[in-house]
Amino acid sequence: GNKGVPSDTFSMTDLNRAIGIYAPSVQELLLIDDLLYAMVGIEGKYISFQKGKSKENTWNFQIDPSMDLSLQESAKRLLPLCECYSIVSQFTESRSHFEYGLVNHALAAAFRAILQDYHALVAQLEHQFRLGRLALQGLWFYCQPMMGAMQALTNVVLKASEGSLSGAAILNLLENQAAAIAGDSAARSLLQKLSQFASAPYLGILERWVYEGVIDDPYGEFFIDENKALQKESLSQDLNATYWQQRYSLKHELPGFLSNAAETILTTGKYLNAMRECGHNAKISFSDDMKGLGSGTRHYLERINVAYNFASAELLDLITQKFDLMGRLRSVKHYFLVDQGDLLVHFMDIAKDELAKRPSTISVEKLQSLLDLALRTSIAASDPYNEDLLCNVEKVSLLKQLENLQKMGFGGFAKTQKSEDANSLELSSGQTTSGIITGLETFTLDYKVQWPLTLVISRKALMKYQLIFRLLFHCKHVERQLCGTWQVHQATRGLRFIGTSMPRSYVLCQRMLHFTQTFVHYLTFEVIEPNWHVMHGKLQAVKSIDEVIYQHDYFLDKCLKECVLLWPQIFKKVEKLKAICLQYATATQWLIPSMSAPDLNSSDSAGVKSSNSGTSNRFTRNRYNDDQARTAFNSSDEATFRTTISKIGEEFDKELNKLLLLLTTESQTDPYLAHLAHGLYGVGKDI
Amino acid sequence: EESEISEGALVRDVLYACQGIDGRYVKFEKELDGFIVDEAFRVPRATRMLVRKLCEVGWLFRKVQQHIDESIKQGHMEEIGTVGQAFCASLQEELSDYYRLIAVLEAQVHNPIPLMSVGNKVENYLSLRRLLVWLAEPLVRMRLLAVLVDDCKGLKGGAMAGAIHMHAQHGAPIVRSIMARLLVRVCSPLFEMVRRWVLEGELDDIYEEFFVVGHPVKAEALWREGYRLQSGMLPSFIPESLAQRILRTGKSINFLRVCCDDHGWAEAARDAVAAASNSGNRGGLGYGETEALEVMVVEAARKIDGHVLKIMYDQYRLRDHCLAIKRYLLLGQGDFIQYLMDLVGPDLSQPANTVSSFKLAGLLESAIRASNAQYDEGEILDRLRVKMMPYNDGDRGWDVFSLEYILRDPLNTIFTEAVMANYLKVFNFLWRLKRVEHALSATWQTMKPNCSLARLFTSSGSAEKSQVAAILRRCQTLRNEMNHFVTNLQYYIMFEVLEYSWAKFLEEMEDAQDLDDLIAAHERYLTSIIEKSLLGERSKLLCKTLCSLFDLILRFRALADRLYENARAVQARSDSSLRKKLERELFLSNTSRKAASMDFTVEFLKGMGDEMDGVAAEYSSLFEGFIAQLPVQQHVDLKFLSFRLDFSEFYIRQHMNMSTAPL
């Protein structure tokens, strides 16, 4: 009869009275009504609550103490549910705000759906209550399924708001929680459902990245970070070529279910993005049912692979076909690895004077115009890319540059040298004593590379090419100087040289030539060509641009190493030998004409008919008798010449022996050095 | 007061409140800014709170409703623009959904609960808690709408669409679907504008909502200033680059229509639509279909820009005119310039105010007739005119004479007045250079019979002879030095600067995709000429030095002319006197004649020698300054100039000698 009493009348008297004055059966009805309010977060007459002061997400509940004790206890059993509701609903409201990011929005929407169910439950309970069919015990029973769910949600909420998580962290949290309560299948499936909801927008971002190469991530939740400061143009300046590696990078927080595929995802988008930067819009054509990533099942890994294969094939095709990667590499090889010698010879001929100056006084423009001239008149004129070749003059010598690179710990330069500090000191002191450096030591080429080829031929790669080029260039220079000496020798052939030091000089010249030519032969035919061939073969079979970059870098590193540029000890010896050769060439070209000069005068004064030009002299010389020829070498010059030659010769032998020794010992670990050693044995005298 | 209020009454009141209407118990309270149960009624605290919670939706509804009312008010409709109207309409639509729900609930208020067991008191079906369930979803919607209303206040057009777009970036599916629906409607007027603009060139924007704005300007400025992007009205879902392209496409159509009087674009636009719809999109534009928009715009732009370029090249013969300007204004047609210089030279030496431009026009005509320029087409030659610039006192004809090339619509879009002024500047410089070169050549002609002059003085005493020889030699070397400079400078400008820039310009013209590219290419061409020929801002000082060098050379010319004139007079006199001497050898004393001529020559020579020294000193100091300033310039090509001028490093060495061993 009195069951309906509290529901439809609110008497003034009720408000002030403690509950204790009613009979327990009435108390129960009043309590249920209040509990139904508390369950949707509203304070009732007898149950009041406020936010806990100590912690953010706790609530303190008070029940009218005058209530029947057993009723109080059974009410208290329901209070955690009310608390959970308050926490979850508060979280839901706050996380719908824009700043929390898409994943939080989606999660909040999922929460809202659950809360809607909960509200419906409360309304149904109320209905039962109005019908007079609900007792406190019944309420407890009906709330059972909801309690577990709300508890699970509360755990998530507490963890999420504690770290104010967003994005991938939320997804991981849901995964972990689901895994943690794997035993409780109901809660687990609930959490899995939640994580599916929450990941939907995340997968949307992923989809755009994997299919279009676009990061559409307004709240910075995606696990790929775009470094906008790094421009693709930096590839042609930055020595470390960081663009490709660091333009897009993985963040620390990855969603667990994607962590295996993260690298693939990153590269896929990167490829697509690179194509977009080239103005080439490639789209993967999927049938519509295939395209959706967020279908819940884990098919997406497969689909990511499909996208990856497409993107890498497309980009590779773009770079090799449209931008003619192989043609470019071949062109670079022509110039930097000197596989078409006429250009270099011609250039060295016309730029001889300019290159002999100090680096600071050299006019690069003049060199450039000379280089252009050489380009147009040599076989390189047929190269379609010859306009991109530039020249440059470095400030320091090759040795010094290697040393600097080594100090910077650049690339492969650091690892091969550990205990070289003493050497490098000695090296730099040797540098200062060797005197002024000329353009011949510092001349280098440069090459204009356009995006996207800068991916492969980056500044770093170009620098390696430059190192090799400088070595070859200088070797060529030495060889030319020695050839000059040989020419000077030819002019003395008609003279009587038996008994002079000329034969020694001839021999020494030959040995030096042999040395330089062997060395150049080693560099070009035993190092560069085979390695190039290997790389060329491998590049035919690559699948992605990353492989191309790897193969190309590998080729360059191998060349650098085998060209002894990474062996400071050996390289220093080689430099020393070259220096000796140059010294010899200068000495002979200086001394021999001065020795034979008086001879010309004497022959003129002797009244023999001969012109002043050296060439005709050579032919007419044979007719002179021995006495005249003997006077060709005046004794004081002859003496200095003799001492110089023998000194240089000894030094050459010494250094060569050292080098051979070094090569022999090192070749045990690095067999390719044995080739060089073998070639050089012929030059050595007595090993 | 009544103490007991039935829940049914409260539910009814809440439903009223949800439509923004005060009920009997639940009223809008201004201070609290919300609907609450009137304090006068005694209602349990819990119920009060629940009612308040439920009425939030009513509060939000009021806000939305208010916005709609305000916007729809007569007279206001125009202000909010079409996008605002579309926004209001879609808000209305969302609200009508809401009304339906409220109506259903209202009907249920009176429905009794379908009871299993009859006998209990009749209850109303809807309780407050039940309402909580029903109103949960409308609350989310209404909140979103209220936020939008707040954010869109005071905005219109593209800005409003952009603001709404910002709210579409939400993770919750319900929000997304609402926003998507809303945005499609809100943006449709905007996309219609884009379509009209891109395909028809019509700026269909009475409320200034579009991100392209037009300004009424004259035809020649239409391309450059006629239309602009208004970044404030550019919604963020249209990227800047695309907006630029949209702007240009419509502009191209208008350009064709107004300036070129051409109607071929309509066909091009139709092709574009066909191509766009062929490529998979049905040509329908709308929010979220940025790609379709892009495809259409790109297609249309390609077609229409191609059409513009074709018209420019074929109908208006842009290439021919550029070439003509290069030939006549930049002195590319050498024989013509030579003739012209010869013909107008005497006239231009007169004071500026006595020079008749009619006469000059006649001379120009005869220069054309006499040179290869006569084979050029009449249409082009007609455009070449003599132009006299305003003159000051003391100006000579040289200072005010120039040529001009008249260009009309639509080519003056490229060749604006500023551009023509630049051409004029270059022409004046080149003309001056040419004149100096011409003057030096003329001097050479007068100097040429040097031998006979030198022979004249052989009869004189050795001291005099050496003096004369010295001064003549001086004159020769100085002229040679100047000639070296002028020739090299001219070579540099004619070949390194003009030809190189021209070749590059031709290349870029070939690559140009649209009129903007073309204009930019031409601008680059002209700028590179101005910069490299030392006329730019950065090289003002250098240019000034150059001008004084020119002046000096002209002064030298006058000096040399005077010297040779006098020398020749002396020669003539001595010739005649020689004859006289032969005739009356007996009568005249040889010494007296000799003394007379000697006197004159010595004095004259001394004056001449001093003046010559002055000119030489000034020249070398100026020239040195010029050489020294050259490397400071940015252009690589200028380095080439200095390299050429000082090929044998003569000046550097001289400079070093001067600086290392000062006197």
- Quick one: pLDDT at residue A555? 92
pLDDT in tens, B520-557: 899 999 888 888 888 877 778 888 888 888 888 888 88
Largest CA distance in chain A: 159
Minimum-distance CB partner of B171 among A11, A34, A106: A106
- State whether B169 and A7 contact (CB < 8 Å): no
B591 to chain A, closest Cα gap in Å: 55
Give yes or no for A364 touching B (CB within 8 A). no
B3 to chain A, closest Cα gap in Å: 6
Count chain A–chain B contacts defined by CB atoms under 8 A: 116
Return the bridge partners of A443, or none: A393
Give yes or no for B455 touching A (CB within 8 A). no
Judge whether residue B445 has pLDDT over 90.
Answer: no
Give the C-alpha separation, B398 to B434, whole Å: 12
- Quick one: pLDDT at residue A430? 41
Minimum-distance CB partner of B171 among A10, A45, A104: A104
pLDDT in tens, B361-411: 888 888 888 888 888 888 888 888 888 887 777 777 887 888 888 887 778
- State whether B121 and A4 contact (CB < 8 Å): yes
Residue B76's pLDDT band (boundaries 50, 70, 90)?
Answer: low
Residues 7-26 of A with CB under 8 A from B: 7-12, 14-15
| Low-confidence residues in chain A, pLDDT < 50 | 1-15, 287-289, 291-297, 414-434, 598-631, 686-687
User: What is the torsional sign of CA B48, B50, B51, B56?
Assistant: positive
Minimum-distance CB partner of A42 among B3, B50, B643: B50
Residues of chain A neighbouring B47 (CB-CB closer than 8 A): 10
- Quick one: pLDDT at residue B269? 73
- Quick one: pLDDT at residue B635? 63
A29 to chain B, closest Cα gap in Å: 16
| Assigned token pair, B406 | 């008249």
Mutate to test the interface with A, among B42, B113, B122, B169 (most CBs of A within 10 A): B169
Mean pLDDT: which of A75-79, A337-341, B412-416, B461-465 is highest? Answer: A75-79
Give yes or no for B520 touching A (CB within 8 A). no
Minimum-distance CB partner of A119 among B43, B44, B133: B133
Mean pLDDT: which of A276-290, B122-136, B421-435 is highest? Answer: B421-435
Return the bridge partners of B213, or none: B228
- State whether B136 and A112 contact (CB < 8 Å): yes
Mutate to test the interface with A, among B125, B170, B295 (most CBs of A within 10 A): B170
Q: Which residue from B minimizes the CA distance to A126?
A: B129
- State whether B169 and A218 contact (CB < 8 Å): yes
Residues of chain B neighbouring A127 (CB-CB closer than 8 A): 113, 127, 130
Give the C-alpha separation, A102 to A99, whole Å: 9
Give yes or no for A130 touching B (CB within 8 A). yes
Q: Which residue from B minimizes the CA distance to A118?
A: B133
- Quick one: pLDDT at residue A601? 45
Give yes or no for A219 touching B (CB within 8 A). yes
Burial letters for A444-473: b for 16+ Cβ neighbours within 10 Å, e otherwise?
bbbbebebbbbbbbbbbbbbbbbbbbbbbb
Residues 197-216 of A with CB under 8 A from B: 198, 200-201
- State whether B53 and A106 contact (CB < 8 Å): no
> What is the rounded end-to-end Cα distance, in angstroms, of chain B?
120
Give the C-alpha separation, A258 to A250, whole Å: 12
Residue A661 in contact with residue A648, Cβ under 8 Å?
A: no
Residues of chain A neighbouring B129 (CB-CB closer than 8 A): 36, 40, 119, 122-123, 126
Q: What is the DSSP string of A564-594?
A: TTT-HHHHHHHHHHHHHHHHHHHHHHHHHHH
- State whether A10 and B130 contact (CB < 8 Å): no
Give yes or no for A122 touching B (CB within 8 A). yes
Residue B464's pLDDT band (boundaries 50, 70, 90)?
Answer: low
Residue B595's pLDDT band (boundaries 50, 70, 90)?
Answer: very low
Give the C-alpha separation, A596 to B483, whole Å: 46
ipTM value: 0.70
- State whether B171 and A105 contact (CB < 8 Å): yes
Residue B456's pLDDT band (boundaries 50, 70, 90)?
Answer: low
- Quick one: pLDDT at residue B578? 64
Helix or strand holding residue B32 (H, E): none
B47 to chain A, closest Cα gap in Å: 8
A23: CB partners within 8 A, 6+ apart: none
Q: What is the mean pLDDT of chain B?
A: 79
SS3 B579: helix
B370 to chain A, closest Cα gap in Å: 40
- Quick one: pLDDT at residue A545? 87
Give the C-alpha separation, B451 to B455, whole Å: 6
Q: Which residue from B minimizes the CA distance to A1?
A: B120
**Closest C-alpha to B523, from B410, B403, B515:** B515
Q: What is the DSSP string of A606-635?
A: TT----SSHHHHHHHHTTS-HHHHHTTS-H
Residue A535 in contact with residue A555, Cβ under 8 Å?
A: yes
Q: How far, CA to CA in Å, does B239 sit from each of A5, A225, A597, B180, B242?
A: 66, 21, 80, 19, 5
Give the C-alpha separation, B94 to B88, whole Å: 10
Within 13 Å, how many C-alpha atoms sit on residue A53's CB side?
Answer: 0
Residues, chain A: 687
Minimum-distance CB partner of A9 among B4, B53, B172: B4
Residues of chain B neighbouring A170 (CB-CB closer than 8 A): none
Question: What percent of chain B clears pLDDT 90, i.e. is strictly above it?
Answer: 1
Judge whether residue B159 has pLDDT over 90.
Answer: no
Residue B661's pLDDT band (boundaries 50, 70, 90)?
Answer: very low
Residues 74-113 of A with CB under 8 A from B: 96, 98, 101-109, 112
Describe the crossing of helices A136-162 and A168-180 by its angle, rounded to 10 degrees: 130
Q: How far, CA to CA in Å, does A100 sit from each of A105, A113, B140?
A: 7, 19, 17
- State whether B169 and A120 contact (CB < 8 Å): no
B620: CB partners within 8 A, 6+ apart: none
pTM (predicted TM-score) = 0.74
Say which DSSP state A319 is in.
I
Judge whether residue B205 has pLDDT over 80.
Answer: no
- State whether B46 and A366 contact (CB < 8 Å): no
Give yes or no for B180 touching A (CB within 8 A). no
- State whether A126 and B50 contact (CB < 8 Å): no
pLDDT in tens, B9-27: 888 888 888 888 888 888 8
A219 to chain B, closest Cα gap in Å: 9
B619 to chain A, closest Cα gap in Å: 27
A230: CB partners within 8 A, 6+ apart: A242, A243, A246, A247
| Assigned token pair, B193 | 């504008």
Residues 579-638 of B with CB under 8 A from A: 636
Give yes or no for A167 touching B (CB within 8 A). no
| Assigned token pair, A386 | 């010859």
Say which DSSP state B360 is in.
H
- Quick one: pLDDT at residue B80? 76
Give yes or no for A133 touching B (CB within 8 A). no
Residue B13 in contact with residue B25, Cβ under 8 Å?
A: yes
